[in-house]
């Protein structure tokens, strides 16, 4: 709903909430695939807890980022 209404902030909050659940279930790549494309819509200078969480996920070794338009191997499609 937030995406349809172009409310990026709320879309980020919802994606981060779901990503926290996924990360807590040892599904960090799924979490990053979920929150990565939404967090990419924001400037790096913005300081929001959800963006900090997304950045921390992206820095976990072995995880690959996905922008929503990535290769077919990306699980966010």
Residue 21 to residue 17: CA distance in whole angstroms? 7
Residue 26, SS3?
Answer: coil
Position 45 scores a pLDDT of 83
Position 65 scores a pLDDT of 64
Q: What is the mean pLDDT of each run of 10 residues along the chain (77 residues)?
A: 79 89 87 87 86 84 61 41
Please, is 25 exposed, middle or buried when counting C-beta atoms within 10 Å of its C-beta (0-12, 13-18, 19+)? exposed
Position 53 scores a pLDDT of 85
Q: Could you tell me which of 48, 54, 47, 7 has the C-alpha nearest to residue 33?
A: 54
Position 66 scores a pLDDT of 58
């Amino acid at each position: 709903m937030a995406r349809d209404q172009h409310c990026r902030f709320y879309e980020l909050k919802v994606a981060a909430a779901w990503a926290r659940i996924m990360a807590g279930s040892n599904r960090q790549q799924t979490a990053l695939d979920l929150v990565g494309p939404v967090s990419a819509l924001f400037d790096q200078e913005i300081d929001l807890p959800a963006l900090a969480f997304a950045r921390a996920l992206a820095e976990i070794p072995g995880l690959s980022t996905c922008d929503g338009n990535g290769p077919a191997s990306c699980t966010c499609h």
